[in-house]
């Protein structure tokens, strides 16, 4: 094909059609020439009419094809809407009958499987391939190709590589092609509301109480799981090569990539059952916090593995420089994404604080929605990870921006993202069931699949039990064996692992990973998720617990010898067991960030130095002067230092860390109140420990029990 010549001929053809031939005056021609001219004109007229008819038929055929494509698009979207509708009705039936052995996501997958079977085997082929064109002179594939067909150019886009053995089995069913979505749809449309809702609905009290353990499980645990699974799967690949079951290349970096994407846990089924049964709040916080941060770590870790490029000819050999470069990329992407998400949340908080958008709840809700969603796209456009950015944006929005919204907008944003999260998550699980039969690049390898199940079991065990042992060395409230077994059992895989696997299915190795990931998700959601309720009973884990109630004391926690009510006990335990880093952060946040970004907290004129008076007056809103009561959040964490837990009884002073000493005089409550900072007074008021209540209560002693072992 000669594009230049074809384009020239196409231009001439268009000119000829645009300008009709000009015939000379008939009276000036001799009779013979006149007859010949009439015959030539008649022939030209008939040829032009035929060309116009042909062009009209082509335009009509094109319009029909466009109409048929539009109809198939509508049918494919209608299929998913009907799947979600059927799932919702079945969920209602299950909740009405109190059926817990199958979660809504498992139902969505079953319905997707049924529809996939119908589309695969119940619909005839509606398109065909005439022939294949060879471009032997090119050494690479083009993303867009222009093909000249009889003077007309047609644009074709790249779908992916097809192995020679599957050239004759290319999908010829347009309907199956329509229900196969672009992987970017999952990342740019479906994942953001799921991840944002996880951060926006985070219960900060229980999350920050277990912050250190959650970070250890999410970061160290995911890294350990990735490398253990990757190395075990590399051994499986070597075994497949020995027995002749490996038909293409599968490198060590591919195994590590599989370890990263399959380490993304999504215990949505277990957490839903925990929430319904009101299981132990600390166990719920550990599992939820790990799964939220674990998804973010897994996606950044997989990006770092893809970026691993050793120097030299062997691009898959170990190179220390490339390894540390990948580590740097991991830290850079994660920190950059975290900063971008937090900054977007802060900007939204400032906009909602210094404008009067609260007078227009619809505009306020729309701005909140767009700013939150744009965080994901902005991070992806800048080369960072949108999942991390939108997660921390959600946490920041919940902590600051939420306080500036009107009452109506608070309710709207909570419900909006809850509905979007529900629909997006069930849509993904429905598509998983559908993809088992509609996806055209499946590579089923029994050895690889069995090896993957064994590897994820060992990888999960290798980071849950050792990390729990080391964490218990520094925790007052230990992570018991029953909690560890439940966390081991709850390592389900779900939407994030599927989205990471389907994002790139161009090579043989990635296609095998996608097929295996799909089967692992099916097994964990159906089998492991269905066994959650019996496992809770077998492990003797508390259910029916008030979310604001703390676990009973045991040999590893503080015991209340004399108290004055459950509220006080719960408040003190929260203060004792919160992470020390968060105790430092709380005072800074309460005294500076909250007054700057919200209408709550103490005035900045009382917390900032005197030389910052002008800036303090500009940043402090008038509402703070009118009402200096601290903001009360139903899910906030209340932190006090260990010194605030010091109480005097007789001539002995007992502190939270167990130290004691003799004193000749007791410290009066009035004197204590005079030395307290504004943040501490705010915390006491939030805990219900005001002046009147303190004076009416008896003395409360808190002792750490010694470990008999």
DSSP state of 642: G
- Can you tell me the distance from the alpha carbon of 261 to that of 459, in angstroms, rounded to the nearest whole number? 13
| Residue 584: how many other CB atoms lie within 10 Å | 12
558 forms bridges with which residues in the sheet?
704
Q: Which of 563, 566, 630 is nearest to 598 (CA)?
A: 630
Which secondary-structure segment (H or E) carries 560?
strand 558-562
Q: Which of the 8 DSSP states describes residue 168?
A: G
Token digits of residue 640: 């006090």
- Whether the per-residue pLDDT at 646 is higher than 60: the answer is no
pLDDT at 450: 96
Residue 540, Ramachandran bin (φ over 0: left; ψ between -120 and 50: alpha; else beta) = left
Closest CA to 623 of 403, 368, 409: 403
Say if strands 558-562 and 701-704 run parallel, antiparallel, or are unpaired.
antiparallel
Place of tokens 């505009």: 363
Per 3-state DSSP, the chain is made up of helix, strand and coil in percentages (nearest 5) of 65, 5, 30
Task: Over range 368-381, report the average pLDDT.
Answer: 94
Mean pLDDT comparison of 122-136, 179-193, 348-362, highest-scoring range:
348-362
* Average confidence (pLDDT) over 87-112: 86
CA distance 645 to 48: 98
The residues, any chain, with a CB within 8 Å of residue 488's CB and separated by 6 or more, are 460, 461, 464, 465
Question: What does pTM read for this prediction?
Answer: 0.75
Res 456 pLDDT > 80: yes
Mean pLDDT (the chain) is 76
pLDDT in tens, 590-629: 888 888 898 887 888 888 888 888 888 888 877 776 655 4
CA-to-CA dists, residue 270 to 117, 206, 491, angstroms: 28, 18, 9
Lowest mean pLDDT among 40-54, 102-116, 187-201, 564-578: 564-578
With cut-offs at 50, 70 and 90, classify the pLDDT of residue 316: low
CA dihedral 112, 117, 123, 125 (to 10 degrees): 100
d(CA 389, CA 402): 18
How many angstroms separate the CA atoms of 681 and 629, rounded?
A: 10
Q: Which residues contact 17 (CB under 8 A, 6 or more apart)?
A: 51
Which of the two residues, 340 and 634, has the higher pLDDT score? 340
Is there a contact between 139 and 457 (Cβ–Cβ < 8 Å)? no
DSSP 463-530: HHHHHHHHHHTT-SS---HHHHHHHHHT--B-HHHHHHHHT---SHHHHHHHHHHHHHHHHIIIIIHH
Handedness of CA 83, 89, 95, 100 (dihedral sign): negative
Q: Are strands 647-649 and 558-562 parallel, antiparallel or unpaired?
A: unpaired
Decide: 222 and 298 in contact? Cβ < 8 Å: yes
pLDDT at 36: 45
pLDDT confidence tier of residue 131, bands split at 50, 70 and 90: low
User: In whole angstroms, what is the distance from residue 402 CA to residue 340 CA?
Assistant: 19
Helix (H) or strand (E) holding 635: none
User: Could you tell me which residues come within 8 angstroms of residue 411 by beta carbon, excluding any fewer than 6 positions away?
Assistant: none
Q: What's the rounded Cα separation, in Å, for the pair 349 and 396?
A: 9
Report the C-alpha gap between 34 and 330 in whole angstroms.
84
What pLDDT sits at residue 181? 77
Residues 157-166: b if buried by 16+ CB within 10 A, e if exposed: eeeeeeeeee
């Amino acid at each position: 094909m000669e594009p230049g010549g074809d384009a020239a001929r196409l231009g001439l053809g268009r000119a000829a059609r645009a300008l009709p031939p000009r015939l000379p005056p008939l009276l000036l021609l001799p009779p013979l020439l006149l007859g010949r001219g009439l015959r030539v004109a008649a022939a030209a007229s008939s040829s032009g009419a035929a060309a116009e008819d042909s062009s009209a038929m082509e335009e009509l055929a094109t319009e029909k094809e466009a109409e048929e494509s539009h109809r198939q698009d509508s049918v494919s979207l209608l299929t998913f809407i009907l799947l979600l509708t059927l799932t919702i009705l079945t969920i209602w039936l299950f909740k009405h009958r109190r059926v817990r052995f199958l979660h809504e996501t498992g139902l969505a997958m079953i319905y997707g499987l049924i529809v996939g079977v119908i589309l695969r085997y119940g619909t005839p082929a509606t398109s065909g391939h005439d022939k294949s064109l060879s471009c032997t002179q090119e050494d690479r594939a083009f993303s867009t190709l222009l093909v000249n067909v009889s003077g007309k150019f047609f644009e074709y886009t790249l779908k992916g590589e097809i192995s020679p053995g599957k050239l004759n089995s290319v999908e010829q069913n347009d309907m199956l092609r329509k229900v196969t979505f672009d992987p970017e749809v999952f990342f740019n449309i479906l994942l953001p509301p799921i991840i944002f809702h996880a951060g926006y609905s985070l219960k900060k009290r229980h999350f920050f109480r277990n912050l250190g353990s959650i970070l250890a499980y999410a970061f160290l645990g995911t890294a350990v799981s990735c490398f253990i699974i990757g190395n075990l799967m590399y051994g499986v690949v070597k075994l497949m090569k020995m027995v002749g079951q490996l038909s293409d290349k599968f490198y060590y970096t591919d195994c590590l990539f599989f370890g990263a994407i399959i380490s993304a846990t999504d215990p949505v089924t277990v957490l839903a059952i925990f929430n319904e049964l009101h299981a132990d709040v600390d166990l719920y916080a550990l599992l939820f916090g790990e799964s939220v941060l674990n998804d973010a770590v897994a996606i950044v870790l997989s990006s770092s593995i893809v970026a691993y490029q050793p120097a030299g000819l062997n691009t898959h050999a170990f190179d220390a420089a490339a390894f540390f470069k990948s580590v740097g990329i991991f830290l850079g992407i994660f920190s950059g994404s975290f900063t971008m998400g937090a900054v977007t949340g802060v900007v939204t908080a400032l906009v909602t604080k210094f404008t009067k958008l609260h007078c227009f709840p619809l505009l306020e809700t729309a701005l909140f929605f767009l700013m939150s969603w744009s965080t994901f796209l902005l991070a992806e456009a800048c080369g960072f990870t949108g999942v991390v950015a939108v997660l921390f944006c959600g946490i920041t929005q919940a902590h600051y921006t939420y306080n500036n919204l009107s009452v109506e907008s608070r309710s709207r944003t909570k419900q909006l993202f809850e509905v979007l999260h529900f629909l997006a998550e069930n849509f993904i699980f429905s598509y998983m069931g559908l993809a088992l039969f509609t996806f055209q690049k499946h590579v089923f390898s029994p050895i690889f699949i069995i090896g993957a199940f064994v590897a994820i079991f060992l990888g999960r065990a290798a980071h849950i039990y050792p990390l729990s042992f080391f964490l218990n060395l520094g925790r007052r409230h230990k992570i018991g064996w029953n909690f560890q077994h439940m966390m081991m059992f709850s390592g389900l895989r779900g939407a994030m692992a599927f989205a990471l696997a389907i994002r790139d299915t161009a090579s043989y190795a990635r296609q095998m990973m996608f097929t295996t990931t799909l089967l692992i998700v099916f097994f964990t959601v159906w089998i492991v998720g269905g066994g959650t309720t019996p496992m809770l009973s077998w492990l003797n884990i508390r259910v029916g617990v008030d979310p604001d109630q703390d676990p009973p004391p045991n040999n590893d926690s503080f015991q209340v010898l004399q108290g004055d009510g459950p509220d006080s006990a719960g408040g003190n335990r929260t203060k004792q067991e919160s992470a020390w880093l968060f105790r430092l952060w709380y005072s800074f946040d309460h005294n500076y960030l909250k007054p700057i970004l919200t209408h709550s907290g103490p005035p900045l004129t009382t917390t900032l130095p005197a030389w910052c008076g002008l800036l303090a007056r500009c940043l402090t809103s008038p509402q703070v002067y009118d009402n200096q009561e601290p903001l009360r959040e139903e899910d906030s964490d209340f932190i006090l230092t260990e010194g605030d837990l010091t109480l005097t009884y007789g001539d002995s002073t007992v502190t939270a860390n167990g130290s004691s000493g003799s004193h000749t005089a007791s410290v009066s409550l009035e004197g204590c109140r005079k030395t307290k900072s504004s943040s501490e007074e705010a915390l006491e008021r939030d805990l219900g420990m005001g002046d009147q209540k303190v004076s009416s209560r008896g003395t409360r002693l808190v002792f750490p029990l010694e470990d008999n072992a």
